[in-house]
C-alpha cells in the first residue's frame, strides 16, 4: 500500500479499541496530527484531505437534493433498533440513547400568528432591499468628483449620508474534488 493511500486512515491512529477513547485521547490525537505536520511527516493538505474524506464518509456528500447519504444516515435505523432493544447500550466510554430532535411546531392555524408573521416577512424583504441599496452606495470622494448621497430619516427628520456597509471576510481553505 502506498504512503499516499495510508493518509486517510486517521494518520496512524488505530481504530481497534477506539471505543475506549476519552477526551484527553482525542486531544492527544489532534496534537499528534499537528505534530506530524510540524515535523514534516505529513503536509497540511494531506491531513485536510483525510479529514474531508472521513467527514464525507460519515456525514455524506453534497447538500440539498444532491446530497448522498453518509454512514450516519445509512445506519441510523439499525442504531435506533439497537438502542430500543438495550435501554442502557454502552460501548466503552460511549452511552447510546434515543431522543427527539428537530421538533417543529406548526402555528399556521392561528390568525394572529399569521398576521405577525406576514409583518415580519414584509420587514425582512424591506431589509433585504435596503441592504442591496447600501451595497451599491459609494463613499464620497470630492477629489474624484463623487459627492455624498443623502437621505432623510423618516423617524427623526434628520438628513444623513448614505454610506456603503463595511465588509469583512475570513479566509478559509477550500477543498474540491478534481475529476480525472
Q: Over the stretch 145-170, which tens digit does the pLDDT of each residue have?
A: 888 889 999 999 999 999 999 999 99
Domain ranges, residue 49: 3-73
* Rounded Cα distance, 83 and 71, in Å: 17
Please report, rounded to a whole number, the percentage of residues in the chain having pLDDT higher than 70.
89
Last residue of a domain, one of 52, 73, 94: 73
Per residue in 66-77, pLDDT tens?
889 998 999 999
Residue 35 placed within a domain? yes
Last residue of a domain, one of 55, 73, 91: 73
Residue 50 placed within a domain? yes
Last residue of a domain, one of 73, 93, 112: 73
Q: In Å, how far are 65, 85, 110 from 97, measured between CA atoms?
A: 29, 11, 35
**pLDDT mean over 2-12:** 43
Residue 152 placed within a domain? yes
pTM beyond 0.75: the answer is no
Instruction: Answer whether 59's CB lies under 8 Å from 75's CB.
Output: no
Q: What is the CA radius of gyration of the chain?
A: 27
Amino acid at each position: 500500500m502506498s504512503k499516499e493511500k495510508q493518509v486517510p486512515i486517521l494518520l496512524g491512529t488505530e481504530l481497534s479499541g477506539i471505543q475506549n477513547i476519552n477526551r484527553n485521547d482525542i486531544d492527544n490525537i489532534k496534537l499528534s496530527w499537528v505534530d506530524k505536520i510540524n515535523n514534516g511527516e505529513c503536509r497540511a493538505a494531506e491531513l485536510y484531505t483525510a479529514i474531508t474524506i472521513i467527514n464525507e464518509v460519515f456525514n455524506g456528500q453534497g447538500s440539498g437534493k444532491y446530497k448522498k447519504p453518509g454512514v450516519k444516515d445509512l445506519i441510523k435505523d439499525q442504531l435506533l433498533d439497537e438502542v430500543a432493544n438495550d435501554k442502557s447500550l454502552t460501548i466503552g466510554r460511549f452511552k447510546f440513547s434515543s431522543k427527539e430532535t428537530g421538533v417543529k411546531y406548526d402555528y399556521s392555524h392561528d390568525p394572529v400568528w399569521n398576521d405577525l408573521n406576514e409583518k415580519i416577512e414584509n420587514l425582512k424583504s424591506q431589509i433585504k432591499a435596503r441592504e442591496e441599496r447600501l451595497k451599491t452606495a459609494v463613499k464620497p470622494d470630492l477629489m474624484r468628483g463623487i459627492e455624498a448621497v443623502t437621505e432623510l430619516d423618516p423617524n427623526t427628520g434628520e438628513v444623513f449620508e448614505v454610506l456603503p456597509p463595511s465588509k469583512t471576510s475570513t479566509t478559509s481553505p477550500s477543498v474540491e474534488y478534481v475529476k480525472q
